[in-house]
DNA sequence: CGGACGATTGAGTATACTCAAATGTTGTGG
DNA sequence: CCACAACATTTGAGTATACTCAATCGTCCG
């Protein structure tokens, strides 16, 4: 979203390309981060925004009393950190060893006024981020634990490099999944176990999921939604854009 | 949000004014709606977007199996219906007798390319909507019923015409509140009762809430957040958190 | 091999849910 | 203006889902 939006790889104009072409010193600004390292923290001034180059990042918010919510995961090609206010409201952290291009908000803002395409692409990105956040919210507010995890797995699958592959790598740990889905780590774990027992998945490793029955998982994920907003399952005609 | 974003009354440049000034036929496009009437439905083409003139509207999403989520309430001055894709993903409905200016997406788009101020205002609106939606999500994913209702009441209070007044009118019915907060109608009702018993509020009428202790309610609302992101209570001295 | 951390499993419980009934409110027609 | 219907809200009783606390198991590294 502006907040932290995902310019999906394979997207139309390609915000990434537009930025790369339009901004000077683009490649000079790529920085590496270690797992768990913070890119920006809550309250930091919004001087820059970011384009993920490799690895995985997460947007997080902590609360005084220890509660934690993960709002998004960012994969290569995604943009994040564009915020309306003077300070960041979310922290952005590297989940694993990962890299980001650090872009000047100022430079981008100036360019936006001159390049309608970049303008349109960013605006679209921001609005699309909202669409994503709507799905996320619907999921958190109205779904059972198994629906949430199914939704999560199908989302990761649809966004993974090998689109449609039935083995997905989870770079994040269980706590991140739990905090993304609004569940506890124990419930996530139990639900994984339950999926195994039902023959929906196998877990060759803790962080690797083999999806045996994408159809069944997709139905679970879609149970609380209407068909059209679920671009997960294979046949996804990919009309608009694979939202989420 | 772009999706449905709120250009807060009293906002800086005033998206409303910019639009009114910049778009021809503005006043001709104001339409009235009866309570419950739909402005746009899920799947409708995104030809227009809207500026609330009077009354209250809601953005809703229904699911096959009857679940329902309210994503936002729009008050006069708010903009909604701006979406990235070709079709609406949310329905917009009038909550009570209400009025909207219907604006051409096309015309606005064109104007954005020529007027950096409108451009900036809309972009900021979209990003701010995301910020709101982040708070909403954090609330839904990580708060108890009482925290949610307290949050809701303080939000309505802060956005109401008479800012800071301790009597707020709820134009929406309990079901809307429940679906906004991710609760059931019974839980909302019980929590209202509980607030009354604790002396936090009174209910002169079902749809009118008098807030007796805005400080206590504000602490409840903020319990799961950090102080700075709670623009609710006025200058609440803000100790720690009342356990209660 | 052992330590540290992540993940799973177990037992018991709390919060918010479901189903059901009673009560309150609003609007309409006699 | 009152009576009644239709709908909104509250209250009650029982339950289910996901939570908490606690222990065990597994895996990755030194």
pLDDT tens by residue, B70-111:
999 999 888 888 776 788 989 999 999 999 999 888 887 787
Assess A123–B contact: CB distance below 8 Å, yes or no. Answer: yes
| pLDDT score recorded for residue B222 | 77
Cα–Cα dist B203/A168, whole Å = 52
Tell which wins on pLDDT, A111 or B140.
B140
Nearest to B137 among A68, A119, A140 (CB): A140
Closest CA to A228 of A131, A109, A86: A131
Instruction: Output the CA torsion sign for A13, A74, A37, B142.
Output: positive
Residue A7 has pLDDT above 60, yes or no: no
The crossing angle, in degrees rounded to 10, of helices B174-181 and B185-197 is 100
pLDDT reading at A88 higher than 70: yes
pLDDT at A100 (0 to 100): 92
Across the interface, whether the CB atoms of A64 and B182 are under 8 A apart is answered: no
Q: Which residue has the higher pLDDT, B87 or A240?
A: B87
CB B172 within 8 A of CB B56: yes
- CA dist., res. B189 & res. B184, Å (int): 9
Q: Are B128 and B135 in contact (CB under 8 A)?
A: no
pTM: 0.84
List of residues 6+ apart from A57 with CB closer than 8 A: A33, A39, A50, A73, A74, A80, A92, A93, A94, A95, A98, A100
Put simply, the chain B residues between 2 and 61 with a CB less than 8 A from any chain A CB are 2-5, 42-43, 61
Per-residue pLDDT at A220: 93
Q: Which of B91, B5, B100 is nearest to B54 (CA)?
A: B100
**pLDDT greater than 90 at residue A113:** no
Examine the pLDDT at B230 and tell me if it is beyond 70.
no
B79 touches strand D (CB under 7 A): no
Residue B238 has pLDDT above 50, yes or no: no
Contact B69 A141 (CB under 8 A): yes
Residue scoring higher pLDDT (B14 or A154) = A154
Residues 136-165 of B with CB under 8 A from A: 136-138, 140-142
CB atoms within 10 A of CB B169: 15
Contacts of A108 in chain B (CB under 8 A): none
Choose between A7 and B214: higher pLDDT.
B214
Least confident of A235-244, B49-58, B139-148, B150-159: A235-244
With vertex at residue B17, the alpha carbon angle to CA B16 and CA B21, rounded to the nearest 5 degrees, is: 120
Nearest Cα residue to B122 out of B136, B103, B109, B132: B109
Chain B residues within 8 A of A112 when measuring between CB atoms? 119
Instruction: Report which of residues B224 and B49 the model is more confident about.
Output: B49
A224 — pLDDT class (breaks 50, 70, 90): low
Which token pair is A16? 């990434």
Instruction: Examine the pLDDT at A130 and tell me if it is beyond 60.
Output: yes
What average pLDDT is seen over chain A?
81
Residue A132 — very low, low, confident or very high, per pLDDT cuts 50/70/90? confident
More confident residue, B18 or B191: B191
What's the pLDDT at A16? 65
Q: Is the pLDDT of residue A94 over 50?
A: yes
Please tell me whether residue A120 adopts helix, strand or coil conformation.
helix
DSSP string spanning B138-173? HHHHH--HHHHHHHHHHHHHHHSSSTT-SEEE--S-
- Cβ of B83 within 8 Å of Cβ of A112? The answer is no
In window 160-219 of B, residues with CB < 7 A from nucleic chain D are 173-175, 185-186, 188-190, 192-193, 203, 206-207
Nearest-CA distance B93 → chain A (Å): 17
Identify the residue among A127, A136, A152 best suited for mutation to test binding to B, counting B beta carbons within 10 A and taking the highest.
A127
Q: Sign of torsion, CA B90 A178 B129 B135?
A: positive
Covered bases, chain C (protein CB within 7 Å): 6-11, 15-20, 24-26
B227 to chain A, minimum CA–CA distance in Å? 9
B171 or A86, greater pLDDT: B171
Best to test chain B binding among A2, A106, A141, A145 (most B CBs inside 10 Å): A141
Q: Which two tokens stand for residue B242?
A: 């009342």
Instruction: Give the tokens for residue A90.
Output: 């979310």
A-chain residue closest to B72, CA distance: A134
| pLDDT in the model for residue B18 | 67
Q: Are B123 and B15 in contact (CB under 8 A)?
A: no
Rounded CA separation A70/A213 (Å): 27
Q: How are strands ordered across the β-sheet holding B38-40?
A: B38-40, B91-94, B57-62, B68-74
Helices vs. strands in chain A: H and E counts, helices first: 7, 11
- For residue A111, what pLDDT is reported? 78
pLDDT band at A227 (very low <50, low <70, confident <90, very high): very low
List the single residue in B with minimal CA-CA distance to A85.
B128
Name the closest nucleotide to A145, judged by C1' and CA: D18
- The neighbour count for residue B215, using CB atoms within 10 Å, is 16
Q: What distance in Å separates the CA atoms of residue A36 and residue A57, rounded to the nearest whole number?
A: 9
Q: What is the pLDDT of residue A27?
A: 63
Q: For B55, phi and psi rounded to 5 degrees?
A: 85, -165
**Residue A33 in contact with residue A97, Cβ under 8 Å?**
yes
User: Residue A26: what pLDDT?
Assistant: 64
- A41-76 pLDDT, tens digit each: 999 999 998 999 999 999 999 887 888 999 999 998
Distance in Å, residue A185 CA to nucleotide C10 C1'? 15
Question: A69 vs B112, B157, B174, B224, CA distance in Å?
Answer: 35, 26, 27, 11
Which pLDDT does position A9 carry in this prediction?
36
Q: What is the mean pLDDT of chain B?
A: 81
Residue B206 has pLDDT above 90, yes or no: yes
Asked whether the beta carbons of B133 and A130 are under 8 A apart, the reply is: yes
d(CA B168, CA B202): 11
pLDDT tens, residue by residue, A179-221: 999 999 999 999 999 999 999 999 999 999 999 999 999 999 9
The A68-74 sheet, strands edge to edge: A38-40, A91-94, A57-62, A68-74
Average pLDDT over residues B198-221: 95
- How far A76 CA sits from the closest chain B CA (Å)? 21
A202 touches strand C (CB under 7 A): no
């Amino acid at each position: 979203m502006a907040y932290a939006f995902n310019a999906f790889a394979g997207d139309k104009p390609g915000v990434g390309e537009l930025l790369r072409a339009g901004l000077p010193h683009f490649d000079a600004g790529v920085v590496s981060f270690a797992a768990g390292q913070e890119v920006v923290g809550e309250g930091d001034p919004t001087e820059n925004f970011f384009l993920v180059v490799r690895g995985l990042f997460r947007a997080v918010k902590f609360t005084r009393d220890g509660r934690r919510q993960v709002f998004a995961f960012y994969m290569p090609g995604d943009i994040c950190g564009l915020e309306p206010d003077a300070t960041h409201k979310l922290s952005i952290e590297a989940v694993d060893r990962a890299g980001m291009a650090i872009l000047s908000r100022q430079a981008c803002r100036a360019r936006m006024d001159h390049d309608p395409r970049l303008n349109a692409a960013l605006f679209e990105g921001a609005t699309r981020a909202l669409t994503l956040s709507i799905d996320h919210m619907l999921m958190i507010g109205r779904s059972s634990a198994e629906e949430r995890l199914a939704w999560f797995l199908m989302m990761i699958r649809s966004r993974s490099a090998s689109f449609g592959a039935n083995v997905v790598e989870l770079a994040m740990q269980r706590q991140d999944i739990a905090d993304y889905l609004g569940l506890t780590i124990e419930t996530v774990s139990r639900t994984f176990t339950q999926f195994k027992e039902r023959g929906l998945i196998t877990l060759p490793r803790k962080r690797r999921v083999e999806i045996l029955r994408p159809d069944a998982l997709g139905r679970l994920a879609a149970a609380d939604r209407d068909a059209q907003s679920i671009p997960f399952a294979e046949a996804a005609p990919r009309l608009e854009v694979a939202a989420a």
